[in-house]
Amino acid sequence: MPEAIRAGILGATGAVGQRFVQALEDHPWFEITSLAASEKSAGKKYGKTANWRLESKMPDCVTDMEIVPVDPRKVDADVVFSALPSGFAKTVEAEFAKEGFAVASNASAYRMEKDIPLVVPEVNADHLGLIDVQQDTRGWDGYIVTNPNCSTIIMVPTLKPLMQFGLESVQVATMQAVSGAGYDGVASMAILDNVIPYIGGEEEKMETEPLKLLGEFNGSEVIPADIRISASCNRVPVMDGHTEAIWAKMTENPTPEQVRQAFLDFRPNLGDLPTEPDQVLIVRDEQDRPQPRLDRNMGKGMSITVGRIREGIRYMAMGHNTVRGAAGASVLNAELLHKMGKL
């Protein structure tokens, strides 16, 4: 059996950090060797410090593991999965990359940097070619690879198969789960019996990140896709699972049946990566699907469910925001990096 790849988690006690722990438990390739968190948590046992709130019990393999500072000199790993806040990540992730670590980041700090890959493996795996550009430009021994915002990552895999029809513009209205804001992000008295029609920075991310993801890598840089995107983002009282109403305008004006078939035919072969779902896009034909409670765990949380495909073209998309939209996305990126010989 091949030797396991040593994996560290930065920001291990938070909501996304816990999803990383869950995703890496019993992983066939990666072994958790370091859990890093804030100075106030460093030196303490993970089981005594992390306020575990996921649906499964805390894995035994991490309960007695001592938390270390978020410092490349203290972390024992080959690859680190970053669940750090963006402001902190901007400094820390670069420090890890300089020291030779592969950084699979869920943070937004480096997503739109020209030499940093922003990747959804089923959509733009070739953009990982930016790693060589990044290392040459910055002189790093390691590198940073990012995954997109949790709402962007639910929408973009549905847009990729529509590009064959001459995708011109997209309008999207989101209904985003409270878990996307972290444990302390939305007060219960603010969200219960309510909809909050604003999420800071979210609309800008949804309008810019897809252009890089759907752009063309020419060997030295990514040429952004020529698509106009307008987003309206809303927080709703759902625990997990972002739902999106999407309007797509295309030059070829496909029928709903053609779009439905394009979704069904979208089956990128990444080569049996452990976290890769059997089907990226799951089409539901019922009039009242997708629904977060019924569909968020499809493909172990890594599939995106689409439905209500109508003339226009208008459709609904839904996905698990802290699995496919966060930790699972970073893990899938790292699996692809390993397959490419980058780990």
Q: Indicate which residues carry an active-site annotation.
A: 150, 242
List b or e across 183-207, with b for residues whose CB sees 16 or more CB atoms inside 10 angstroms: eeebeeeebeeeebeebeebbebbb
Q: What is the distance between the alpha carbons of residues 316 and 244, in angstroms, rounded to a whole number?
A: 6
From residue 218, alpha-carbon distances to 113, 161, 288, 340 in Å are: 16, 21, 42, 19
Pick from 207, 334, 44: nearest CA to 343: 334
Q: Nearest CA to 146 among 190, 194, 245, 80?
A: 80
Please report how the helices 202-213 and 152-159 are oriented relative to each other, as an axis angle in degrees rounded to 10. 40
The 3-state DSSP class for residue 84 equals: coil
Q: Which residue has the tokens 């979208």?
A: 266
What are the structure tokens assigned to 262, written together?
A: 């394009």
Q: Minimal CA–CA distance to 80: which of 64, 65, 98?
A: 98
Six-digit token string for 309 = 């495909």
* CB 141 within 8 Å of CB 119: no
Q: Which residue type is seen at 93? A: E
* Half-sphere CA count of 328, side-chain side, radius 13 A: 24
How far, CA to CA in Å, does 30 sit from each of 81, 166, 217? 11, 40, 29
Considering only CA atoms, give the Rg of the chain: 19
Could you tell me the sign of the dihedral formed by the alpha carbons of 205, 242, 180, 128, in that order? negative
